[in-house]
Amino acid sequence: MPSSNRYYREFPSDRDLSMMHFQSSPLKEIGQWIAQHNMNVGDFKNWVTSNQANYILRHDNRGFEIRGMNINDEAGTERAWFKWPTNREQLRDYNSVISVVQQVTSAFQSGSGFWADENVVENSNNNSRIKWDKKFVKNMPTNEAGSLDNFKNGNKVIQYKVGKYNKYISPYTFQKLAKMSPTSAYNKPKTQILFKNPFTRANVKREEIKFMVLKDAATKIQSAVRGKIARKK
């Protein structure tokens, strides 16, 4: 089929995945690679084009083809083309949904049954309940345990301490360290150990982390000045 006649779905989002077969091997394989290798968009494309993926047949400049979309489709006859992801957030969203599905499946396999399944899904939908406090900074910090790139104004981060100093990691780096999503961690007991401090190797507990949104301190000053001027008018 000429590429001009192919139908390319958007890279799987929450909505797309709800219409697909979560437990198909291709979807799980993609989710596992994204999580294990801390992928950005470039990394993902390199993985697909290097022929390491078992269930990705072909690719072109617009996207890639997955085979075996149905959990019972061992022959791989059910196929679909997807567009390349356009940003890292798409990869995170995809991995988050796949992780939840795997938790649900594990709950059933362990004999916990329907109620465990329901609790996992409920926790997965608590993302809006995370209270991301504003953190005003003069200079944007780096993702200390991740890429070492500077964060940008408006980025969500998880803050923890090394001695007297605050360190910051992205939600994606946190998930890699803690082996759980920020949402899951947010709902853990205060004494729950989440991960080992990558600098000191000490255990980091739930009560020792904060969920923050970085804000440029200059914007706070500008806002205050504009407010003062407005009140004088």
Nearest alpha carbon to residue 102 among 181, 44, 177: 181
Q: Please give the residue that has the higher pLDDT: either 206 or 99.
A: 206
Residue with the two structure tokens 């940003």: 87
Q: Are residues 7 and 117 in the same domain?
A: yes
Summarize pLDDT for 80-107 with one digit per residue, the tens.
Answer: 889 999 988 888 878 777 776 666 555 5
Same domain assignment for residues 33 and 134: no
Write down the pLDDT at residue 102: 62
Instruction: Give the pLDDT band (50/70/90) at residue 2.
Output: low
Residue 228 covered by a domain: no
How far apart, in Å, are the Cα atoms of 191 and each of 52, 101, 203, 204? Answer: 40, 26, 11, 9
Phi and psi at residue 20, in whole multiples of 5°? -115, 180
Locus of tokens 């617009």: 62
Q: Distance between CA atoms of 231 and 233, rounded to whole angstroms?
A: 6
Q: Are residues 27 and 82 in the same domain?
A: yes
Express the helix, strand and coil content of the chain in percent, nearest 5 each: 40, 20, 35
Q: Which residue has the higher pLDDT, 69 or 227?
A: 69
Supply the pLDDT for residue 112: 45
Instruction: Determine the structural domain holding residue 115 and report its residue range.
Output: 3-124
* Cβ 150 vs Cβ 140: under 8 Å: yes
Task: Collapse the DSSP code of 112 into the 3-class scheme (helix H, G, I; strand E, B; otherwise coil) and give the result.
Answer: coil
For tokens 């958007």, the residue is 10
The reply to whether 58 and 93 lie within a common domain is yes
Minimum mean pLDDT range among 104-113, 143-152, 198-207: 104-113
Give the pLDDT confidence of 3-58 residue by residue, as tens digits.
678 889 888 765 556 555 555 677 778 887 887 777 889 989 998 888 888 888 88
Hey, what are 207's tokens?
């009560």
**Tokens 């149905």, located at residue:** 70
Give me the number of domains the chain comprises: 2
On whether both 114 and 187 belong to a single domain, the answer is no
Same domain? For 35 and 134 the reply is no
Whether the predicted model's global pTM rises above the 0.85 cut: no
pLDDT of 209 over the 90 cut: yes
231 pLDDT band, cuts 50/70/90, is: low
Q: What is the dihedral of CA 113, 119, 121, 124, to 10 degrees?
A: -140
Residue 80's nearest CA partner among 69, 72, 89, 96 is: 69
The predicted structure's pLDDT at residue 173: 84
Q: Chain centroid to CA 66: how far? A: 21
Task: Name the percent of the chain lying above pLDDT 70.
Answer: 68
Q: What is the pLDDT of residue 72?
A: 56
**pLDDT above 90 coverage of the chain, percent:** 15
